[in-house]
Amino acid sequence: MKRRDFIKLGAGLGAASIGLGSGFRAAGTQTKMTLKASDVHPEGYPTVAATESLGKKLQAATNGRLSTQMYAAMQLGGEKETIEQTQLGAIQLLRVSVGALGPVVDDLNVLNIPFLCKNTAHMQKVLDGPIGQDLLDKVSNNANANLVGLCWMDAGARSFYDTKRPIKAIDDMKGLKLRVIGNPMFVDMANALGANGIAMGYDQVFNSLQTGVIDGAENNPPSYVFDNHYTVAKNYTLTEHLIVPEMLVFSKRAWGNLSGDDQALVKKFAREAQAEARVLWTQYEQKAMEKARAAGCQIVEVADKKPFQDAVKPVWDKYGPKYAETIKRIQAEA
């Protein structure tokens, strides 16, 4: 049996047990329940640590009735697989990139437009205000998503890295086979910049870099370093073309089996996790850049980003009109 088929089989069995209300509410009472949490990132990563902190608080507040068990480092599969498992109810708590969630909840794709925000501070301001709450609600109210949007988590700015050559100007992008998140917007973005965009699960990137299936990828510094991509791809160019946040979501199928008080607790601790993750992120990002430089990676500062910004105009023309109102609100926050 293939690994992905095994994952889906396990998801179906888990969903079936949750559908029966196992561990949640039975005849008006609640028994002990361990919420399964998933993240593609390794132990110690800011989003993993913040979600684990949420679980500890939940356990303390319910006297052990509710707790979490974290499955980090892609133990339950890549983001696409874990989104599907969360929709089914086999995973209750999932940290996922908005890049991967965009195909599920189209409203989120506004945040996936390249060079949308001026910097990470701009994105944080957007997420912490009414726009951020509106987009969380879009997830929760989407009838087909089967997810509850709990909070945002920082993921910094994404830049390109590769095994072939330093990207010092846009012409250096030409012909590079670059992995992007499985979202048509990102494939179009990479192609517009002159590269060949290849949609691929995050769990496949490291091996694909090693074997030459791809020449490079794009991600934030902690993902580049702490998932060991920097050991293969030694060139990291600070294009900061995307500032794509991450989201903590809850399975709607499992959410409906929690009492109102328990739902309120999860939401409260999720908001606290958002703040905790941001502090951890700043420290983690600094450590990542220090480690990359110490390993001899070439970190390239982009003196003029305008050619990159101009090149992605077709992406704005294709996707922007649908989100015009939200884009206007986001730009007003700068």
CATH at 8: 3.40.190.170
Residues 59 and 208 in one domain: no
pLDDT tens sequence across 159-182: 999 999 999 999 999 999 999 999
pLDDT at 31: 84
Could you list the beta-strand ranges (E) of 122-170. 147-153, 158-162
Query: Which residue in 20, 137, 3 sits closest to 89, CA to CA?
Result: 20
3-state secondary structure (DSSP) of residue 58: helix
Residues 193 and 310 in one domain: yes
Residues 51 and 164 in one domain: no
Instruction: Find the mean pLDDT for residues 27-50.
Output: 87
Residues 253 and 217 in one domain: no
Residues 320 and 230 in one domain: yes
Residues 39 and 138 in one domain: yes
Residues 314 and 275 in one domain: no
How many domains does the chain fold into?
2
Residues 223 and 253 in one domain: no
| For the chain, counts of helices (H) and of strands (E) | 14, 13
Q: What is the dihedral of CA 245, 246, 247, 253, to 10 degrees?
A: 130
pLDDT tens sequence across 208-257: 999 999 999 999 999 999 999 999 999 999 999 999 999 999 999 999 99
The whole-model pTM stands at 0.90
DSSP character for 31? -
Residue 71 belongs to domain spanning: 3-154+245-285
Residues 205 and 89 in one domain: no
Residues 175 and 230 in one domain: yes
Residues 142 and 211 in one domain: no
Query: Which residue in 45, 72, 70 sits closest to 221, CA to CA?
Result: 45
Which residue is associated with the tokens 């990102």?
186
Residues 183 and 316 in one domain: yes
3-state secondary structure (DSSP) of residue 60: helix
